[in-house]
Amino acid sequence: MKLYTRRELALSSLIAVLSALLILSGFLLLRKERSTGPEPRLSLSERGLPADSFTDVFNPPEGEYTQEEMLNIALYERLNEGVVNINTTVMSYNFFLEPVPKEGASGSGSIIDEKGYVLTNYHVVKGAQQVYINLADGSQYEGEVIGADRENDLSIVKFDPQGKDLTVIPFGTSSRLKVGQKVLAIGNPYGLERTMSTGIVSAPGRPIKNEDNLIIRDMIQTDASINPGNSGGPLLNTKGEMIGITTMIYTPSGGSVGIGFSVPVDTARRVVPDLIDHGRVLRGWIDMDPIQLFPNLVRYADLPVSEGILVSTVTSGSSADRAGLRGGSRSRAVRLDSTTVIYLGGDIIVGIDGKKITSYSDFYSALEDSRPGDVVTVMVVRGKKTVELDITLNERPEGRL
């Protein structure tokens, strides 16, 4: 027979008491649940999700989805039908030089008005002979490109919804984006319609040069998965507002590596009215013939700076002429090629409204968001002096780029 010390007897008694307490507490909790029933299901607003933007569009089993998943699901179910799949045909030539249609680019777009206006990228519909808009219900409509902005890679396509109720993607703002802010992209990567991906704002305000060698300012960088076919689709915030238009990716492989770029929606807000009303963006212009400096020209003319825009000619009687901008001399003409003659001796533009001007891209970018009638401060090098001129802008001639 084993003998126990007082300490062992006390420890054994304590363990027995604790075990009894645990059994009693479990019994009491079970009775409470049976008497009160299961915990009531909370609505989206009660779970802390944006009540002003979402409603309980689904009723999931208790505990099946996290709050973040519920937000994603609600946003997708509310807005995915506002994203369209765009297919185009372009004109090609066969062996006998006969024009024949062939399949062109495909991409995405956002319905921005119930009348059938769709916002997409310029490169999605560039050169298209026919444009087809495919809706979420499988219906297809022929669209028409009614406005194009090559500089910001944006276009407006119009189709006739024939009385159908359309889901509209609302505009938000891109002026207050923060690194780390959650974003969602809906599009048609590789033709897989209405695919959603999520990520964050990796960096706002990126100046990115597009395939036409034009700089698009303030691009939004994101790690949300973007692939061919996403172009033109919306980049959304968690309120379900468009903050960008998915445009391009950086990739060494052809697929997404987590570096994508979207045109900021504030740019679209500015240009869309002109695209709908005029088919193009009305921009300000300095009435002059600009020539980008290059090494041979700098050496030949012994210019005081190596970067900037040489003013070859100024339109007589224009606002630029009245402001004192000087072109080159007819007696100092040099031929650049079979069609271009440069007149030396004119001002060299090195800045516009505080922005440094070194190239055509800088020059056009500095005037991109200007309007006819705006006044800009132009800094020019004139001989050995630097001069500032306040110039009232005229309208840029159509096709001048």
pLDDT, tens digit (0-9, with 9 covering 90-100), for 126-149: 999 999 999 999 999 999 999 999
Work out the mean pLDDT of the chain and round it to a whole number.
86
- pLDDT of 57-84, one tens digit each? 556 666 788 889 999 999 999 999 999 9
- pLDDT of 275-302, one tens digit each? 999 999 999 999 999 999 999 999 999 9
Which architecture, in CATH terms, is 182-277? Beta Barrel (2.40)
Active site members? 123, 153, 231
pLDDT at 124 over 50: yes
Give the domain ranges of the chain. 182-277, 284-395
Main-chain phi, psi angles of 364, to 5 degrees = -70, -35
Q: How far apart are CA 218 and CA 298, in angstroms?
A: 32
Residues with Cβ < 8 Å from 128, sequence gap 6 or more? 88, 89, 90, 104, 105, 145
Look at residues 246, 296, 244 and name the one whose alpha carbon lies nearest to residue 268. 244
Per CATH, 182-277 and 284-395 having the same topology is answered no
* Percent of the chain whose pLDDT exceeds 90: 66
CB 387 within 8 A of CB 311: no
Sequence-ordered strand ranges (E) for 60-98: 83-93
- pLDDT of 364-390, one tens digit each? 989 988 999 999 999 999 998 999 999
pLDDT at 100 over 80: no
What pLDDT score does 18 carry? 59
Dihedral (CA of 50, 53, 59, 60) sign: negative
* Percent of the chain whose pLDDT exceeds 70: 82
Q: How far apart are CA 251 and CA 254, in angstroms?
A: 6
C-alpha of 269 from chain center = 11
Q: Can you give the pTM of this predicted structure?
A: 0.77
284-395: CATH class: mainly beta
- Residue, of 368 and 337, whose pLDDT is higher: 368
Q: How far apart are CA 184 and CA 197, in angstroms?
A: 6
